[in-house]
Amino acid sequence: MAKRVVQGRPRLLSVLNVASVLLMVAATLMVFLYAPRERVMGEVQRVFYYHVSAGWVGMAAFVAAAVAGIVYLVRPARKWDVLAVAAVEIGLVFSLINIVTGSIWAYPTWNTWWTWDPRLVTATVMELTFLAYLLLRQSVEDPERRARFGAIYAILGSLTVPLTYMSIRIWRTIHPVVIGSGDPGAQGTFAFTSPMVYTLLVSLLAFTVLGATLLWHRVLLGKLADKVEQLRLKALGL
């Protein structure tokens, strides 16, 4: 066991750290040097690669939190609660990137920073739902009750993920659809060329590895926080 741990960190995590940096560098180089300039939208279309990738990681993280919640309810163990909180935090960071970059892309394309489009609204509702998860958890003192509350909330909150994903497929929208066919009224769609597809795939891979790496770091932080809390309670004689 000691051989697999480098400076209190699992060796696989060190490998993931390096892989994340290399993949992010590769993805960034592809975005700026390999992917062609889109004819109509111009340079701002390059935001699309990281916008989609961040959205994917954000949604995957929220689903991971719900899965951890289900496992916690079936087999209550602190580690599942720690994982759920970590996943929600990672989901919030990446979803924030997704929403803000979407808004920046929208201004030159739709001529507005924000519009009450089903995708924009559902994505924001998803972000706010999980932001509330973190805030509401803090109001519950007892760790067991807090974890149970968190698990149920994460499961219910995760319903916003398929809602966000499907919003551009079931309602009238101006948001483009990347996979499958979208609303004919969508504004900002473009024809994919092979370099664009490869760049998107590498960006998705880079963000997935980065998300997993950050999730692991956040889980380690959660475990450390647990240890500190236990020692604090012991010191207080509770």
Partner 1 sequence: METTNYMILGYAVIFVVLALYLVSLAVRRRNLQRDLGMLTQLDKKTNRIRAKSKKRRR
d(CA 8, CA 5): 6
Tell me if 172 sits within 8 A of 185, measured CB to CB. Answer: yes
Nearer to partner 1, 150 or 211 (CB): 211
Q: Which of 123, 54, 129 is nearest to 88 (CA)?
A: 129
Closest approach, Cβ 107 to partner 1, in A, equals 6
The reply on whether position 215 binds partner 1 by CB under 8 A is no
Tell me the window of 90-98, 126-134, 160-168, 188-196 that interacts with partner 1 (CB under 8 A): 90-98
Helical (H) or strand (E) element with 6: strand 5-6
Closest approach, Cβ 2 to partner 1, in A, equals 20
Nearer to partner 1, 68 or 214 (CB): 214
- The CA-CA-CA angle for residues 87, 100, 102, to 5°, reads 105
Give residues 115-174 in contact with partner 1 (rule: CB under 8 A): none
The reply on whether position 200 binds partner 1 by CB under 8 A is no
Site for partner 1 (CB under 8 A): which residue of 21, 63, 73, 96?
96
Tell me if 43 sits within 8 A of 135, measured CB to CB. Answer: no
Tell me if 168 sits within 8 A of 182, measured CB to CB. Answer: yes
Site for partner 1 (CB under 8 A): which residue of 108, 112, 193, 195?
108
Report which DSSP code applies to 5: E
Q: Find the helix packing angle between 143-157 and 118-137, rounded to 10°.
A: 170
Residue type, 206: A
What is the x/- site pattern for partner 1, positions 19-58, by CB under 8 A? ---------------------xxxxxxxx--xx--x----
Tell me the window of 67-75, 104-112, 143-151, 183-191 that interacts with partner 1 (CB under 8 A): 104-112
Closest approach, Cβ 52 to partner 1, in A, equals 12
Alpha helices in 75-117 (DSSP H): 78-110
Positions in the binding site for partner 1 (CB under 8 A): 40-47, 50-51, 54, 93, 96-97, 100-101, 104-105, 107-108, 210, 214, 217-218, 220-221, 224-225, 227-228, 231-232, 234-235
